[in-house]
Each structure stands twice: as C-alpha cells, then as structure tokens.
Structure 1
C-alpha cells in the first residue's frame, strides 16, 4: 500500500469535508436568521442597535465549527462539545451533526448522551428563541437518530474488520497446513530415497567386501593381501556408517544432532583419515598437531574434518598419482577472535579422461561452512588444484549447525 497516496487522500477528504460543512452551516445560519426576522424572533436591525450584533456575527461563527472537524479523529469528544456550542451560537448545526455521528460511530458510550444533553441545553440558552416541549422533543429525536445511525455504521465497520482479521488468520492457518503437508511429503520422499540408497549401496559395498575377502585369501603376495584387507575393512566401515545415517533418516523427527552422533568425526580423526588414504596409495603430506583441537567447538571441528575428507576424496578421484598436502592452522583475527584455516592442495592430474563428478560434495561443504559463518574457496591452479576453507571458532549470530551433510 502506498502510504503517501493514502495520506494525500485523507487530507483532501478532510479539506472537502470542511469546505462543504462550512458552506452548509453559513447558508443554514443565514436562512435561520431570515426566518427568525419573518417570525419576529429576531429583532429588526434598524431598531435593535447593538443587540443585533449577535445575529450579525452568527454566520461568521458557523465556519469555525466546520474547521474544528479537522481534529475530529484525535479529539472526538472535545470537537463534538465545541461544535454543539458553536452550532447554538451560529444558529446552524451541520458541523455538530457530523461530529456527533463520528463520535457515536467510534464508540456508543455515555459520552454520546452527555453531548446530546449539552447540545439541547446550549440551544435552549443560546438559541434564537425559547423552545417549546414539542421543538425540544423533535431535537432530541433528531440527535438520537443521528447517534444511532453512527453507532450502527461503526458496529458494521468493526464486524467487517473482525471478519477480515478472521479470514487472514484462516488463510494463515491454511498456508501453514499446506507448508506442513509439503514438508511431510518431502520427508516421505527422503525416507523412500534413504531406503533405495541403503538397498543399492549396501548391495554394492557387500560385493566389494566379499571380493576383497576372496582376494585376501588368494593374494599372491603380502602387499596384495594388505591392500585387500584395507578394502574389505573400508567397505565394512562404510556399510556401518551407511546403516546408521540412513537409519536416522527413517526416524520421525530426526534432528541434526541425532544425525551427527552417527558419524563421530573431528580434528582429532584427521590423522587417521590421512593414514587411510596413504594406505590406499595416495601421497599425502600432513603433520598432526595434538593441541590444535583444544578448545575448538564441536561443529567447527566436524566441519574441518569434512573439508579434509572432501578434499582427499577429490584428490583420489581426479589426481590419484599427484602429491597432496593437508594443512590446518589456527589464526587470530583483528577483532580478537580466532579462525581455523584448512587447505588441501594437490599437484596436476595424470593423463587420461577426468573422473566424473557432479560437484555436489563441494556444494554441500560450502553450505555447511557458511552456516558456521565461514567461507570455502576451491579453484584449479598452475600446479594442480586447491581447496581452502576458513571457519570462525566463535558462534556467528544465532545460527548453529550440529549435524553432518549427506
């Protein structure tokens, strides 16, 4: 909604109301004085002298009551009382009718009766002539009718507003239910995918483990037997982690924290991770720092492990013959905090077609680190490829990520 247009429209409505009511009150005042002169209730100006000044100034007071309507919303009771008195003095009353209508429309309370009584009293004391009971009764009926119409319109407006609020709340509930249904459908789809992943990958990994065991038994030399043993153990470990992770996915309401417990990993396990890749044949350089993980929160520690894990996986996939280096360093920042710098760099890949990959691992890794307020950068270099990450060791804002990305 354009607020400026709304305000401009309100101002112009007020100006138009004041002009129309002022003109009507002046006209009514002149007509009342003219009728009073014909009936004898208003003296002849040629013989009345100074006493006629009151009737001469009456049309000049009529627009004042109309101007008071500018403050009808801010001071409704005061405006209604003022216009009641000015209406009696100016022998008009259109502005008072408007003020009474708006006051009753806002809230029908005992103030409306007070204003009506004030108007009747002002007319009786300051009006053009004495009132009879019939005139007073007609005046009371007229004012009560105006107040009743205002109260009716106000009640209708409040009911309409209440209905609009109710419809908005109902629409909000419907939208929330729709979102909940979508989330339920997504969760069901995730469960289905988890089952399919478990069935497919478990079958393949089981075949790898069986074939590795057969190779271990029939190995022609100790080196081949050792490699087969590593393959079999790795396949069994992967099967165990796969069952744990997908089992958590099947559980209703599984949280990131529950998911994280299925795959304990952190800075302390990076040395073991690098050792496994070395046994698999990669040339990886890494110098463990036993004190590096001291005081580092759990979420940044796991994220650092995943950065190294993803980097080593990419090295094995794209440049298995190249030398690689893993470094972790804790640095201080200008703001007095500290960040963890992780890098995995490797040399150029060997000849042949590059291994296929969708890049989803790097995307998920970047999302994980960004949730912790950090950054991930990866790019090819003149000497190979590098993966670098910077992870703050203090919680950023109110976001906290405690789980592992699949």
Structure 2
C-alpha cells in the first residue's frame, strides 16, 4: 500500500512530487481553495514546455531572413513579442483561458510566438472544458488562411502550410484533452475508492453496533437470571433475620452458587469478546436440552415450577430454535422470581416439526408483599426481539387476577407446514 502523510485516510501521498499540482489539490481537501504549490513534476513539465516554446520561436526567427519584403521593424517587433510570449508561458496554469485569448492576436503578427501559442493551446485543453478549446482554437484556425496570405511560409506552399498547422494544432489539442480525460478518470477512481472505503467503514461500524447489541442482550439474558436469585435470597435474609439456621444456610448456598455461575457466565461473555475467528469462546450455548437443568435450578432456589414438556424431538430441535425457547423460559422464570416471589410458575413447551413451537410461562398473583427489585423491562424487549428474529411472535402481560403470562409462538420448519 502506498505510504501517505497521516492527515487523514485520504491524505496526499508522500510521492506527491510525481503528481500534478491540480491532482494534489483534489487529494488534499484541507487546503480548501488555496492554490497548490508546484510539485517537482510541475516544474519539469513547465521548464520542458518553456524550452519547447523557446525552441520553436528560435526556429521561426532563423527562418525570418528568408521572408521577402519583411520590414525590419516588423521583424524586431516579431521577436520581441515572441520573447514576451515565451515568458508568459509560466502563467499557463493560473490563467489558461486568458493566456490563450491573448495569444490569438499576438500570433497574427508574430511568427516567433507560435511555440508559445502551441503551449497555450495545450494548457487550455488540459485545464478547461472542451467548449473553451473549441471556441479559441476554432477562432485561430479560421484566421490561418489570412495569416499565410500576409506572411507566406518561405519553405512550404500555401495549402501545405495551412494543412500542417491545422494538423499540429489538432495533435496538440488532442494530446491535451487526453491528459485531461486521463486525469479526470484517475480522480474518478480515487473518488470511487474513497466512497467505497467510507461505505466499508460504515458497514464495519454497523456490524460492531449490532455485535454490541447482541452481546448486551446475551449479558442481560445470562446474568439477570443469576443476579435475580442473588437479589431475592439476599432480600429474604434481610427481611427474615430470625429464620431457621437451615433455611439461612440454604439461601446462602443458593447465593454462593448463583454468584459462582454469574462469574462463570461473565467469563464466557468476555471470552466471546476476546476470541478470534475459529477460536472456542466458552461453553456451548444452551438449548432445549438444558431446560430441565434451568427448571431444577429454579426449584432449588425455592420457586415452585411445574414443567409441561411436550416436544417431538424425533428430527431434533434446531439449535437456534432451542436457544430462543430457552431464553424465553429463562426470562419468564427470572421475572416471576422478581415480581411474584413465592408464587408457583407453570412452564409449558410444546411443538413438533411443521407445527411450530409454543412456549408459555405463567404465574398467578404473588401471595404476599413483593420486595422492591429494580427492573427496566429490557428482558422482555430482548426476548421479543429474539422471537422476531426467529420469525415468531410473542405476547406478555397481566391477566385480570393479577398474574402474568409470557407466551411465544416460534416457527419450526418441517412436515407439511
């Protein structure tokens, strides 16, 4: 990759001296409208064109003695105008149109300014659109028959001199237009590459944002379950300091185990962030096979859970479907412990290939006073998004008797569905 000066992703490269100043201006947007300095390439081109103008002017001056009936004063004026025209070549970059327009009347009376006129036409074709080239060069070519009538070429016939001059001007203008089109093509490719790079950066930022959102959902789903156990049992110990020692010991054990599992889950999520492509980032993601362990864990924590599991696993439950169902049940149990402690929870999971998978978590109103447990509702938003991504639907809300139900319907491909 080309080395670039570190002023931005598209800063002017270190080899800018090989580029025209017009190109470096486009590549260096920090310069704004300021005129760019000539690069080394510019100086080489300018000196070359200056010497070309001087060389053609000297050739015309050598041929002047062969012209018949040429007044001495006209010859002196011709050479003086030729010298001034060669000096004016250095203004071709800043005022290409002005230089070409000024050279039109000068070239009508000065043969030695022909080289400067050719350089002016070339610069005009390089730096300005074709309409300027057509107007100015067309005006010059229209005056050629008159010019060669007044000052015929001593070495060429009248018609040959006109044809040769037209061919020379056409070749110079064509070369200038080629240089201009090539430069525009290069800038177009640069601009396209710049846009592609910007779009790639935007896509990368979007991918990072989506990854962060996925990780945030996963952290909530994984840690909220564990931390809710900690909060519920710690609250119970706080409100019942006179509870039997066995009950306090069991609650402390649940707190210790939940804290250990929360740390383990947190390590797994950190592993996901640190793992590269193809690396193992931790334990496998849970599926429906782990649903029994989740229910058993809730029962050990003191929640009465009734599991109604009617899933046809003949063809195997897809991993993504099972993981979505697991997270929905996990969030339902977490909310039940937080907002209805002591209430029994019913979990129903049923389905078959082609029929879809139904997941329902239901609990009645809490039997007593509910301790204040902080919550933001992000868990329900998260499982709703999971169900939507899986192509399913989910509903949740209170019933007239104060209970709460989470119900999801997930598609399961297969059969005649």
Q: TM bucket by the smaller chain?
A: 0.3 to 0.5
TM-score with structure 1 setting the length: 0.47
